[in-house]
Amino acid sequence: MNWRTLGPRSLFVVPVVAAVAVAGLTFFGPTGAGQSAPAATPEFGSRLFDAHCSACHGPVGEGIEGRGPDLRQEGEAAADFVLRTGRMPLANPSAQAIRGPVRFNEEEIVALVEHVGTLGDGPGIPDVNIEGADIGNGANLFLLNCAACHVASGAGAPIGGNRRAPALAQATPTEIGEAILVGPGAMPIFSTFTDTEINDIAAYIEDLNQQGTTDALAFGGAGPAAEGLAAWLLALVPLIALTRWIGHAKPGRNHPRDDTEPPPDDHPGDTPTTAEDAAAEASAPDDGTVEREEVTPG
Ligand code: HEC
Ligand code: HEC
């Protein structure tokens, strides 16, 4: 093999091979001491609770008038729900808790959930499984029990008292099961559903998600009357997507190219990993996008 025939890209090969070798050694070789994460002890959960929750919910979760409710019957289901949807810790106790960025890492969530579970005997985290569930039955149950607030599309709506039933687009099957058991905020608790019925409802909401009806945050403020608008906007989305696709990655827009020069490396991360790849890339013309050259966005 002649290094000169490989072209300038072969310069990348040596460092890449070396880096892969080093990474492999680091990964598979003996690990240094002190790399394992600290174990989630019960003390860890109670320390987190003292630091982030007790100011509103009280030191043993008994609740504080005007700040936060009693958590002793909320259980692991409620704690898991509020932490994984980013509802807690709340910034302002008089505002509705809404979905937001998750504030704790996995280990902290597990520790806090276990701690809240020890405060009383509320429901545990449900084991929701939508595979093979009866979507038709889920649809009936959803329309009878949930659509009054979340509307038939699952897009959510204001329910009075400055509260709103949120869009269901982001809720995972487990979170749906938790909401059903816990009744967060102004939502009622549905304690009569069987595990199978919960699976069916979650499967139906997942089906709505596939159809894209639940993600209506952009026009959610207007309530059920907005559903017609929703349908209209849903028709618009593919058009916008098409427009963006047409306008996407037009060669030369930001980096005018002179075809007599070798193409600049637009993808520095896309470094060939073998000498053969490097040789193939160096000799092949970089014409992957040429046939869209003359398409102009209308
Ligand atoms: C600033 C005050 C405040 C802080 C801090 C706070 N909460 Fe809350 N929490 C509330 C309020 C108010 C509610 C009732 C929310 C509602 O009704 O919409 C609530 C509700 C809850 C619920 C019940 C959910 C429901 O609506 O059924 C749980 C569980 C919970 N909080 C856990 C926690 C945990 C765990 C922390 C610490 C990580 C925490 N909270 C921090 C004020 C707070
Ligand atoms: C009386 C109105 C009402 C009914 C009926 C209702 N919900 Fe809710 N739901 C709410 C409200 C309000 C919230 C927001 C709770 C909060 O403030 O944290 C909510 C939150 C949720 C969430 C969390 C969504 C997220 O991503 O943050 C899920 C999931 C959910 N509901 C599912 C259901 C299901 C399933 C049913 C039927 C079995 C149902 N709800 C019935 C009012 C309702």
pLDDT one-digit tens code per residue, 169-217: 999 999 999 999 999 999 999 989 999 999 999 999 999 998 888 865 5
Residue/partner pairs of 286-290 with CB below 8 Å, 24 or more apart? 289/249, 289/251, 290/251
Give the integer Cα–Cα distance in Å for 34 and 36.
6
pLDDT of residue 23: 46
Q: Write the residue with the smallest CA distance to atom 14 of ligand 2.
A: 165
User: Which range among 29-33, 91-95, 196-200, 225-229 shows the weakest confidence by mean pLDDT?
Assistant: 29-33
CATH of domain 42-118: 1.10.760.10
Superfamily of domain 135-238 in the CATH hierarchy:
Cytochrome c-like domain (1.10.760.10)
Quote the pTM value: 0.70
pLDDT of residue 146: 97
Q: Write the residue with the smallest CA distance to atom 40 of ligand 2.
A: 146
Let me know if the fold of 42-118 is the same as that of 135-238: yes
Distance between terminal CA atoms of the chain?
A: 50
pLDDT reading at 11 higher than 70 = no
pLDDT of residue 230: 58
Pocket test for ligand 2, best of 150, 153, 168, 192 (most atoms within 8 A of CB): 150
